[in-house]
Copies of this chain bind each other. A is one copy, B any other.
Amino acid sequence: MYDGSGAEDGSRIEALRLRCTTFAARRTICYEGDAPTELFQLFDGWAFRYKVTRDGRRQILSFILPGDLIDLPLLGTERIAHAVKALTAISVCVFSRTELADFIYGDAERARRAGAAFAAQSAATDEQMLDLGQRSAFERIARLLNHLAVQLRKRGLAEAEGFRLPLTQSHIADATGLTAVHVGRTLREMRKSKLLSLAQGWLTIEDPESLAAI
């Protein structure tokens, strides 16, 4: 995601920040179809984007980690097509949607970087579609957890032995298109085969090579 901190623009984008604020855990930040005038950058905590079918099945589209701009597409459209929910208590920086868009699109270099961010996001969702469409439950879960580990390490948010993972099995299920029960069984398998272990909100990766190879 676009993290607004590219090179010499890092300081200038700060000037656009309206304020910072917080949301409680489990709080829904916005709903599908909303047309918010403000746009958030996640500063601390976890959130996720999701959509639901009419009969209530939920698909988690992505997890949002500190540094991510929540809802990059808002730079290109007024109305968002998905909901966003806080997983933990979060704190965010608030920007005006129109001001930020003017700022970014008004300069070729910044627009280009936004384009690069879109491209990166698009590559990530393509990868996810490959997962959802073609891979087994075991592979999907392994890849999701590995992806999160990589992202967190990149941001310096993971210890060597593992990291805090504030997801329930239901969250993992909704992100991978499985049921919570089956996620539980698959995690048990992973634990038994000494690949990783997830308990009490703490993920330990025991065999990083095999995990990355899946």
Contacts and interface: CB of A to CB of B under 8 A. Distances in A.
A127 interface: yes
Contact of A132 (B74, B116, B132, B174): B132
Interface of A: 49, 51, 53, 57-59, 61, 72-77, 81-82, 101-102, 105-106, 108, 111-112, 114-123, 125-130, 132-135, 174, 176-177
A48 B121 CA distance: 19
A58 B134 CA distance: 7
A106 to B, nearest CB: 5
B125 A129 contact: yes
A58 to B, nearest CB: 7
Interface centre among A61, A122, A123, A133 (most CB of B within 10 A): A133
Contacts of A135: 53, 57
